[in-house]
Each structure stands twice: as C-alpha cells, then as structure tokens.
Amino acid sequence: MAVLTCVMFLQGQPTPKLGLDLAGGTTVTLTARTESGATPPDTQMTQAVKIMTQRVNGLGVSDAEVAKQGNRNIVVNVPGEGQDRVVQLIGTTAKLQFRQVFAVAEGRPTSGTSPSPAPSPSGSAKPSASPSASPSGTTTPRGRAVSKALAAPSPSPSASSSGGSASPSASPSATGAPSPLPTDLLGGQDYSAIDDKAVIQQFEKLNCSGADKRAPGANDPNRKWVAACDQDGEAKYILGPVRVEGTQVSDANAMPPDAQQGQSSWTVALKFKAQGGRQFGQVTSEAYQAPAGSPQRQVAIVLDGQVISAPSIDNGAITGGTASIYGPPESFTQSYATDLANVLKYGALPLEFTQSSIDEVSSTLGSDQLRGGLIAGAIGLVLVVLYCLLYYRGLGLVAVGSLLVASGITWVSVVILGENMGFRLSLPHIIGLIVSIGITADSFIVYFERLRDELRAGRTLRPSVETAWRRARRTILVADAVTFLAALVLYFLAVGGVRGFAFAMGLTTLIDVVVVFFFTKPLVALLSRTRFFGRGHALSGLDPRRLRATTTTTTTRPTGQEA
C-alpha cells in the first residue's frame, strides 16, 4: 500500500476523477454527411456508434456515452471538461490508404509562377534527400521528399534538369490547361505516367498552407489519381490508385521510442491481414523498381485525405506483412501515436461526420446524490465495524484494521486508474464499493470462525492460527472466485451503469484477497504471540472458556426411563 500511495502522490492527484453523472463533462453532436445529401442507412449509423464506442474504450475513458439520435446524428457524452482531443478522435473518419507517389512539390501553388534566375552556373535543381524505409518495414520520419528548387528552368517543353526532362506529350494544349510543372520541383520526374490532366491542374493550383489541408477528392478510394497535402502543409503530392486499404490492417499499436533501432519518436506498428500483406509487398516492390531519386520510389500513407508519411523504398520490397509509421519527435508524441493507433485498430467510420455542436454540461446527479452515496457507505462501514467489535471483541480490531487497509488500497487504486487509464468514479461504482464492504467482511468472518472452532476443540491459540488458516483459505478463495467471475461476466455483458458496478465489485474482490492473505492472517499470527490474545483474555474474543461455554450440549434419557 505504501508503494501505491507514493505513486499516487507522485502523480500529483490525491483524489479520484468523477464521472459524467457526478462532475459533468463534454457533449458533442456529430452529424453524418453523405455525398448525395440523402439520409444515411441505419446499418451504417449503427456501425458508426459501435466503432465510436470501441474508440472511447480504447482510450480508457470510463463512463462515456455514445448514442444515436434521429436519422443522422450521434451524440457523444465524455466525462470531464475540455475533452476536445477525445471528441475529435471519436469523430475522425480514419480512412487509411496506401498509394504510390508520382509527383511531389512544395505545398504552395505553382501555377502561373515565372522562373527565377538560376543561382548556380548549371541552373539545375537540387532535390532534397528522400528518406528511406528500413528492411524491417519501418518508415522514416515523415518521409517527405520535398524538392527544393534552386532554380527554375525555362518553361519550354524542351527544358530539362539533372533528373530528367518534361515530356511534350504530357503538355496541355493551349486551351487554358496548365503547363507541366518544372522538373526540378518534381524530383527529376515528369507527368508522362499521369493520364489525368485535371489532377495535374489541381496539383499545380493546390495550396497546402491554408487552414484546410484536405484537397477535394483526396479521400475518395475510387479515384485513380488524387492530389493531396501532407499534414503540415509543407508538401503536396500526386498519388496513384489505392493499393492497400485500411480495412486490410488487422492490428495497430503505439510503441515507445527504441534507441537501439535509432528511433527517437513514438511509432505506430501496423500488422496487415494476409491479403493486405501481399498488396503491401506488391506496391513496395514496384516502388523499389522505380529509378533512384524518383517520386515513384515513395509509397504514401494517406489518412482521411492527408499524407501522414511518404517513405522512399530504397532497401527492397517489404513482404513481412508489417510496417511502422513514425515521424519527428515534436509531432509524433505519445498521445498522437496512441490516437492514430486507436483509430486504425478499430477501423474507419462508414460515414463522414461533422461537429454540429459541442458543449460543456453540468453533472446529471450533482453533489447531493454524491453526498448521499458517501453517507450510505459510511453508515454501512460503521455498522460492520460495530458488529465486529461487539461479537469478536478484541479480535474485531483486526477486522476493523483490515477494512481500513482495504478502503485505503481501493481509494489509491481508483486515483491511479483515473490518472493512467481514464477511470472516473460514478454513482454505480460507488454502489459497487459499498456492497463490497460486506463481501470483504465475509472473508474475515470465515477465518475468525475457523479459529474459534479450533479453540472450542481445546487446542492452543498459536497452532490453531495456522490450522484455521488452512481450513479457511480454500473457502475464502472459492467465495471470492465466484464473486469475481460474476463481476467479470456482468462487466462484459452489461452496459452503462451496470458495467461500472461490476467493475467496482471485481476490483474490490481482488483487493479483498490481497488484504486477507498479506495483512489479516499475518496480523492474527503476530497478535497470537502477545499475552492479551495468547492467554485468552476475556475481552480478546479468543477466551477458550467463554467459547466452550457458548456451545450447547444436550442429554437424552434411556428409553423407557421415567423422569
């Protein structure tokens, strides 16, 4: 208990966090949006509610509520104020795509710009180094290959740079279509592999430095060619068809930095399904066969229409069925990696949602109900203590001390769980803790009665302590196991407040086992060595004469004998 108490104070939070019913929280209304504007199917709304609930549970947020309202709204209630991060994560569509890169440039618009004088004698472009993917399948930080042009060549179709030349066949006609992007801004590539001039035009005019970095159509898996920005707006891409969809990801986990692997930031480890692993191996194989330094060497990881990473496949195809996403430590923090892994693990929402409203709400029950629950718990505890003292006398002090230790461990555990797992104490939890007072007292009573039985049989105290413990231990474990299994089944089958009640009952059952084994029994063994208990003082509760006097004996007369 001392260790848990130190952990609690080191966290700087000595009181439990309260749930939605006792402390209020954040309420957000999410409205489903369809391209046609029609009412979304009920099956998709139900699936969205299920995925949002899984995301909340994945974050460890306790007592959150996700419910459908009407035909196209979902209302999410999260306990605690200022839960913008949780609310935004819940409503993230999380459509993951893997696409091959065919062009990359700086994030600002390039259409209509005039070439600048060449600062170097050669007038050639010097693209920045492309990050590479390691053989194990991990991506390099951010993976951007943004070509920083030192000079722009002449817009003539025959203009060339050190990386290649612009193909005249890819040049638009004189009807107002865009001219090819200078090859030095494309990392030495041209548009010859891209057969969609509308995407080329969109790419040139795309401004990724604005507030909205989601290019139109970038999240559409049915589009063969898309233009997309990265998350920071520093680079923009032309991406080919979707090669692997997020539905092929079977698992995703946030992993801490690994200094041995040279990683200084958190990572998201992905594991593909069998088909996804083959698809990922195919696209990385094709990327590896592209010319060195070409944008086609990169495979973009696109989340909700934004490129979060675009590693260059420089060490061979990745066929192990796994990959990792990581980036600069300042942006790939623990919370970012955890959020990303959480949304990828439970899959994409079947619909896109917009926030219709977000409000801070007050508690639904308030301080009066909380005070009433605490008073009820205190009354129950006092009654149990009085019973133990009146019936067991001095031995009842052991029960009182054990209850206080169990209460302290429960308090500290709830505080620690609140800080590390998002656990929040609600009224059903408090009810479960109150009910568990009797369950905990039962364990002490079983042991004490076994001990008193040994003394009634005429045995001395010190050997009786061990004999009674061997007899009581099995009964205590079986009783607690039945209670814990009942709480476990109730937790997984129930929802809402009933689930909170089951969690509290299961937690206190485990604490009961710890207290009985590591506090109650050792304390009784220690007290048996004292004169007060060892010699069976009348107020100790272990007086052999008093115990034998309480046994009832009956005598019978022989058959046929008259009184």
pLDDT in the model for residue 121: 30
Residue 53 lies in a domain: yes
pTM of the complete model:
0.58
Q: Beta strands of 332-456 (E only): which ranges?
A: 352-361
Same domain, 372 and 353: no
CATH number, domain containing residue 43: 3.30.70.3400
Residue 338 lies in a domain: no
Spatial separation of the C-alpha atoms in residues 381 and 12, rounded to whole Å = 28
Tokens linked to 382? 């006092």
Residue 18 lies in a domain: no
Same domain, 59 and 101: no
Same domain, 475 and 545: yes
The structural domain count of the chain equals 3
Residue 465 lies in a domain: yes
pLDDT in the model for residue 84: 67
The whole-chain average pLDDT of the chain stands at 76
Average pLDDT over residues 231-243: 90
Same domain, 123 and 88: no
Q: Which of 87-96, 379-388, 450-459 has the lowest mean pLDDT?
A: 87-96
Spatial separation of the C-alpha atoms in residues 376 and 384, rounded to whole Å = 13
What b/e readout covers 6-35, taking b as 16+ CB neighbours within 10 angstroms? Answer: eebeeeeeeebbbbbbbbbbbbbbbbbeee
Spatial separation of the C-alpha atoms in residues 93 and 490, rounded to whole Å = 31
Q: How confident is the model at residue 364 (pLDDT cuts 50, 70, 90)?
A: low
Same domain, 196 and 213: yes
Same domain, 87 and 190: no
Residue 17 lies in a domain: no
Residue scoring higher pLDDT (507 or 82): 507
pLDDT in the model for residue 447: 92
Q: Is the pLDDT at 325 greater than 50, yes or no?
A: yes
Same domain, 88 and 111: no
Q: Is the pLDDT at 112 greater than 60, yes or no?
A: no
The predicted-structure confidence for 482-532, as pLDDT tens digits, reads as follows: 999 999 998 888 766 788 888 889 999 999 999 999 999 999 999 988 888
The residue segments making up the domain with residue 400 are 367-549
Residue 545 lies in a domain: yes
Q: Which of 183-192, 283-292, 357-366, 525-534 has the lowest mean pLDDT?
A: 183-192
CB 402 within 8 A of CB 519: yes
Cα 440 to Cα 9, 484, 487, 511: the distances in Å are 26, 12, 15, 9
Same domain, 314 and 451: no
Residue 339 lies in a domain: no
Q: How confident is the model at residue 470 (pLDDT cuts 50, 70, 90)?
A: very high
Same domain, 395 and 266: no
Average pLDDT over residues 412-430: 82
The predicted-structure confidence for 254-294, as pLDDT tens digits, reads as follows: 898 888 877 788 888 989 999 999 999 999 999 999 988 88
Residue 231 lies in a domain: yes
The predicted-structure confidence for 123-160, as pLDDT tens digits, reads as follows: 333 333 333 333 334 343 334 333 322 222 323 232 33
CATH number, domain containing residue 429: 1.20.1640.10
Same domain, 311 and 390: no
pLDDT over 90 percentage in the chain: 19
Residue scoring higher pLDDT (33 or 171): 33
Same domain, 207 and 243: yes
Spatial separation of the C-alpha atoms in residues 439 and 501, rounded to whole Å = 14
Same domain, 357 and 379: no
Q: What burial class does residue 402 get, using C-beta atoms within 10 Å of its C-beta: 0-12 exposed, 13-18 middle, 19+ buried?
A: buried
